Structure 1
Amino acid sequence: MKDFIKYLTSSREDENWGTYLTSAGLLRIPPETEYPSPTHPGGYFFTWENGRILQEYQVNYITEGNGILENNHGTFNLKKGDLMVTFPGEWHRYKPHSKTGWTENYIGFSGPAVGFFLAHKLFDPENPVISTGIHEEILDAFLRVFELIKTEPPGFQQIASGMLIKLLGYLVAFQKQKEFSGKEIAGIIEKARFEMRNEVDKNFDLEQFAANNNIGYSYFRRMFKNFTGLSPRQYFLQLKIMRARELLLTTDKSIKEISYLLGFESIYYFSRFFKQKAGTSPSEFRK
């Protein structure tokens, strides 16, 4: 794909969608080249001396070369495979090293729903560089957005915003996978999930499981939550609710029988927890 820079318009309909793109570009900056290009429009151009403040988010994937990013929280080195995030209203500046240049792939975006996705701890102005390495899925996500916005077909903002959310999901997933790659605890967590599913109709002793696998329960609980987003107990209870839904829809068992079968201490606790997770009571769900 050839280098390009594009600034995108958005309608009220696009903005009401919740997330919309504002800019995008692919730039190959050779060594010893002026940066940024003086052809940038006024709202985006900056000098190293002054930096800039944008009113949008940007994700910028460096696929060749090295450089530097500075914001109000510090100075951050950038290398091939790093992705930097800049935030609206935040002063920043960045540039490639003159000896290496770099290749940058960036997307600017905004909208009321963006904060929901970027509330994840991975996206932090104090740590704005995400070291993902070069991943085909991430690069392909950028390139698919670039291909789409070149022609701006009807509804392109809605499609592009979906692609962007998928990209952000990849970033979160790869960082989680990186945390557990090659570690014994990952296998233990998978074993726990397997056994929980097999014993969903029983009471699964989580502390005994940890002891049987020669790890402390507090460590197991913390790592399990990092891996799945849920504590082991919450995970197991959600499996029980999934099983309860199945039994309510496919059997004639009473709610009391299902509660007993799944090991809940009382029908009242079961009904309250079911409504909390399913949004409706077991009896209403069955209707």
Structure 2
Amino acid sequence: MTLDRNNTLCYPGTGGHDEIWGMTVTTAGKQTVLPGSGYPLRSHPADYLFSTQKGRILNEYQIVYIVNGSGTFCSGNRPPRKVTSGSVLFLFPDEWHTYSPDKETGWEEYWVGFRSRHIDSIIAKRSFTKEDPVHNIGISTGIISLYEEIISVLQHEKPGHLQLVASIIIHILGSIYFKEKNLSYADTATIEKINEARMLMKDPECRLSTEGIAESVGIGYSKFRKIFKEYTGVPPTQYRLQQKLSKAKELLTSSMMNISEISYTLKFDNPCQFSIFFKNREGISPSEFRERNRMR
């Protein structure tokens, strides 16, 4: 339902096919709340209306993106949080919450709601938590475009539209996670050193140990391991092995080097050690991997 160009509410019907993909899309939209206006707008269905004093509990996830203005958010038994332009509010199923814009500023918001077994598993891995439901990522034209695309797709209701929206929601989640991770390290000298270390790890000619690489970039090893894992998602030793495996695949598929030459290029002690390393990770020998990829 389009109220005007600044206010669009979507509450799609659901069917069996969208649930097969592991996600049911329940709502999406955008609205502009002018300074001094009541909140929420009365145009929402009864199940979604709430008193900002009493709050509400939903049986779905919602991702609310504030793109202008400011306000307050509160969930669970945690104290109220200030919300500003660029804040993302993550609403969890069966979690009490309330939020509203400041009377002085109002706000502009986008939202999308859904139920998803896939997201349940992501939440279980602590990528997004009830303890930290507000994510300050700043204004992203890319994420705004994704919300706009969801609204457009839901309005046109073409075959497969709910499946497309489900994939866009995953894109939004990934974008929020990516932006928050990178903003937390933006423009720091330490991250420049971590990136320098990553370049060394990608270089087959580098004979330094992981501890030696940390020392060469001027970071103590325990601090290096901690920051490296936070930034890349994997410990430095595992990252280095991943790079070695990636380079091995590249050489096996795009060079005429034999197995012995590849093993020595990647600084293995001998071809046997290289073959064991490769098979443990890929389930097949380097020779089998090369043969399969030549057949494609």
TM-score with structure 1 length normalisation? 0.89
Which residue in the other structure is 2:278 paired with? 274
Which residue in the other structure is 1:156 paired with? 161
- In structure 2, list runs of 5 or more residues that go unmatched: 292-296
Q: How far apart are 1:173 and its partner, in Å?
A: 1.2
Q: Are the structure 2 counterparts of residues 13 and 98 from structure 1 closer, same or farther at C-alpha, using a change threshold of 3 Å?
A: same
Give the letter aligned to residue 156 of structure 2: T
Which residue in the other structure is 1:89 paired with? 94
Q: Are the structure 2 counterparts of residues 51 and 273 from structure 1 closer, same or farther at C-alpha, using a change threshold of 3 Å?
A: farther
Q: Does 1:123 align with 2:137?
A: no
Q: Are the structure 2 counterparts of residues 196 and 229 from structure 1 closer, same or farther at C-alpha, using a change threshold of 3 Å?
A: same
Q: Does 1:107 align with 2:112?
A: yes
Q: How far apart are 1:244 and its partner, in Å?
A: 2.0
Work out the CA distance in 1 between the residues paired with 2:51 and 2:285: 60
Which residue in the other structure is 2:61 paired with? 57
Which residue in the other structure is 2:175 paired with? 170
Work out the CA distance in 1 between the residues paired with 2:277 and 2:56: 50
Which residue in the other structure is 2:49 paired with? 45
Whether the aligned pair in 2 keeps the contact of 1:247 and 1:253 (CA below 8 Å) is no
Q: Which deviates more, 32-41 or 89-98?
A: 32-41
Give the letter aligned to residue 242 of structure 1: S
Give the letter aligned to residue 26 of structure 2: T
Please give the root-mean-square deviation of Cα atoms over the aligned residues, in Å. 2.3
- In structure 1, list runs of 5 or more residues that go unmatched: none
Which residue in the other structure is 1:21 paired with? 25
Matched pairs, number: 285
Q: How far apart are 1:70 and its partner, in Å?
A: 1.6
Which residue in the other structure is 1:35 paired with? 39
Q: How far apart are 1:202 and its partner, in Å?
A: 5.2
Whether the aligned pair in 2 keeps the contact of 1:20 and 1:160 (CA below 8 Å) is no
Q: How far apart are 1:281 and its partner, in Å?
A: 4.2
Q: Are the structure 2 counterparts of residues 49 and 98 from structure 1 closer, same or farther at C-alpha, using a change threshold of 3 Å?
A: same
1:116-265 alignment runs, 5 A limit: 116-119=121-124, 121-198=126-203, 200=204, 203-249=207-253, 250-251=255-256, 253-254=258-259, 258-264=262-268
| Percent of aligned pairs sharing the same letter | 35
TM-score with structure 2 length normalisation? 0.86
Q: Are the structure 2 counterparts of residues 6 and 248 from structure 1 closer, same or farther at C-alpha, using a change threshold of 3 Å?
A: same
